[in-house]
């Protein structure tokens, strides 16, 4: 039996371009895939790990399969079809994730892996079959194997780098995720069709046209039809919903969380319990409208900054918000409150480090990525920075969310207690006894906290919140670990709401 005739090699520029394009598209899909699934399962370490792991599995499966197919058939007959199929699959990702995400919201690790797989695996595997086929075509002799494989491997890595930087620094800032994927898929479809004609393999074009039209139709419905987000910001899928029971009330939803409630007509109206707790603290430490210097780590809808600016004119409210899109939405929820509120678009930890020593009466921590406080804002080093920025009689109020058994909440309380001498927790009855969980507002100060006065103010507001301190708080914390920059397994400790 005679061996099949070796297929003609591609021009070096074309071989490099195909490997570069396929590798870049896989990384675009990986980064955008994380943003697509976040509204349904949040942004956690599990989510990121699932997307990365599924992408690597797809790359391995695609490379393995592509190499085998390259040995069995002429790669020239398959390269164009692979690009077309990969492009069509990428265009189908947004509607598939949107439909599946509604069923998998709040799911456990298995659901996270399933949704990540739906977002990434199929198109990434198909596109990852391209490089080994191109390598097969370019191997003219064994004496050049190292050169060919090394060159194309390097080109593929450069494509992955380009896809990563282009997506992270440019595309997500100028276009919604669905549009990015539709555009990426469209480029692959056009390149695949062009390549098939170039290689004189027209047979795959007919089914490819059908695939193209179906992909465009479904992707178009995704982009221009109903959408989960009002605005897709750099970090979140954001929506603003009007309260049906209060015409001036607006609810800001970020991904899976009801993040902020703002009354456009009344900045003193507070809907959420944790905001009421912090506002009651502020009422005690700066009574009768006395000016208050407050640093807010996390802006959201600017509910509390607006409350303090309205009730304590002449004070200072510095807000650190990492997401420029959220900052823009927040500024549109309620008329500006004047010079008492300064909004800075900066990472909370970075912005905290930029503050002068002993410059604030109150520091409020209210930053979230999904259900969790970003890990670098939970550590002892961060709490030490907060203490540095507080005046000697200042107070730190940190909002966290956890559910039974509450390992993260306990660890965060232990972390705060490792820096401050006086610590208390405000929460609902089901939170403070860890029977139900929810929001925990951790109060911390170098001097004794005015707990009796805070409890009285909560009663005046008709709040059912309770305060836990002293031996009862110590028993709750028990031997929980202190979180540090070197060790902060926040996502593993956190018990998400089911």
pLDDT tens readout for residues 430-448: 888 888 888 999 999 999 9
Mean predicted lDDT score pLDDT of the chain: 86
Q: What is the pLDDT of residue 215?
A: 53
- For the stretch 202-241, pLDDT in tens is 444 555 555 555 555 555 555 544 456 677 777 777 888 8
258: number of Cβ within 10 Å? 12
Question: What does the pLDDT read at residue 498?
Answer: 41
Q: How confident is the model at residue 387 (pLDDT cuts 50, 70, 90)?
A: very high
| The two three-digit tokens of residue 318, written as one number | 């510095």
**pLDDT level of residue 407 (50, 70, 90 thresholds):** very high
Return the closest-CA partner of residue 133 out of 85, 71, 183, 184: 71
Q: What is the pLDDT of residues 192-209, one digit of tens each?
A: 888 888 886 544 455 555
Convert the pLDDT of each residue in 40-58 to its tens digit.
776 677 788 889 999 999 9
Please check the confidence at residue 417 and state whether its pLDDT lies above 80: yes
pLDDT of residue 409: 94
Which residue would you say has higher pLDDT here, 228 or 453? 453
Token pair recorded at residue 165: 């930087």
Pair of tokens at residue 359: 């410059």
pLDDT given at position 245: 86
pLDDT at 94: 87
Q: In order of start, what are the domains of the chain with their CATH numbers?
A: 12-227 (1.20.1250), 260-493 (3.40.50.150)
Confidence at residue 201, expressed as pLDDT on a 0 to 100 scale: 53
The neighbouring-strand residues paired with 250 are: 242, 262
408: its two tokens: 């993260």
At residue 264, the pLDDT reads 84
The predicted pLDDT at position 326 comes to: 85
Check residue 6 and report its DSSP letter: P
Q: How many CA atoms lie within 13 A of 493 on its CB side?
A: 24
CA distances from 237 to 95, 165, 258 (A): 16, 21, 12
Averaged over 362-372, what is the pLDDT?
A: 84
| Average pLDDT rounded to a whole number, residues 58-66 | 95
- How far is Cα 24 from Cα 18, in angstroms, rounded to an integer? 10
How large a percentage of the chain has pLDDT more than 70?
Answer: 87
CA distance linking residue 327 with residue 323, whole number of Å: 6
Task: Tally Cβ neighbours within 10 Å of residue 60.
Answer: 12
Average pLDDT for residues 358-383, to the nearest whole number? 89
Q: Which residues pair with 443 in a beta bridge?
A: 397, 424
Q: Which tens digits make up the pLDDT trace of 296-334?
A: 999 888 999 999 988 888 899 999 998 888 888 888 776
């Amino acid at each position: 039996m005679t061996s099949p005739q070796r297929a003609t090699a591609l021009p070096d520029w074309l071989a490099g371009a195909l490997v570069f394009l396929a590798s870049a598209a896989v990384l675009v899909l990986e980064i955008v895939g994380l943003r697509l699934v976040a509204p349904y399962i949040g942004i956690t370490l599990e989510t990121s790990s699932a997307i990365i792991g599924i992408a690597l599995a797809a790359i391995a499966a695609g490379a393995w399969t592509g190499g085998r197919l390259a040995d069995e058939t002429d790669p020239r007959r398959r390269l164009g079809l692979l690009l077309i199929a990969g492009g069509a699959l990428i265009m189908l990702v947004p509607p598939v994730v949107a439909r599946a995400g509604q069923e998998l919201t709040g799911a456990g690790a298995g659901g996270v892996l399933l949704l990540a797989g739906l977002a990434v695996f199929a198109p990434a595997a198909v596109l990852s079959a391209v490089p080994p086929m191109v390598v097969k075509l370019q191997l003219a002799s064994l004496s050049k194997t190292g050169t060919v494989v090394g060159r194309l491997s390097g080109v593929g890595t450069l494509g992955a780098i380009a896809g990563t930087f282009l997506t992270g620094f440019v595309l997500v800032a100028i276009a919604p995720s669905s549009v990015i994927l539709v555009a990426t898929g469209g480029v692959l479809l056009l390149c695949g069709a062009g390549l098939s004609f170039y290689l004189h393999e027209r047979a795959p074009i007919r089914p490819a046209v059908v695939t193209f039209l179906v992909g465009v139709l479904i992707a178009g419905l995704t982009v221009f039809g109903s959408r989960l987000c009002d605005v897709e910001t750099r970090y979140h899928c954001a929506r603003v919903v009007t309260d049906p029971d209060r015409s001036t009330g607006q609810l800001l939803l970020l991904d899976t969380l009801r993040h902020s409630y703002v009354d456009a007509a009344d900045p003193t109206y507070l809907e959420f319990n944790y905001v009421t707790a912090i506002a009651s603290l502020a009422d005690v430490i700066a009574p009768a409208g006395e000016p208050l210097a407050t640093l807010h780590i996390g802006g959201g809808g600017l509910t509390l900054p607006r409350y303090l600016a309205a009730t304590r004119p002449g004070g200072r409210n510095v807000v650190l918000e990492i997401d420029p899109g959220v900052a823009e939405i927040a500024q549109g929820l309620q008329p500006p409150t004047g010079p008492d509120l300064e909004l800075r678009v900066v990472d909370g930890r970075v912005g905290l480090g930029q503050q002068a020593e002993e410059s604030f009466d109150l520091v409020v921590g209210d930053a979230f990525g999904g259900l969790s406080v970003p890990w670098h804002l939970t550590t002892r080093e961060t709490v030490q920075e907060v203490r540095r920025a507080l005046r000697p009689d200042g107070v730190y109020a940190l909002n966290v969310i956890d559910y039974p058994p509450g390992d993260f909440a306990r660890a965060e309380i232990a972390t705060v207690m490792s820096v401050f001498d006086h610590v208390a927790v405000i929460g609902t009855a089901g939170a403070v006894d860890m029977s139900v969980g929810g929001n925990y507002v951790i109060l911390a100060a170098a001097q004794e906290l005015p707990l009796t006065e805070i409890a009285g103010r909560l009663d005046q507001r008709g709040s059912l919140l309770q305060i836990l301190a002293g031996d009862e708080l110590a028993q709750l914390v028990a031997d929980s670990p202190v979180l540090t920059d070197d060790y902060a397994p926040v996502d593993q400790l956190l018990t998400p709401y089911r």
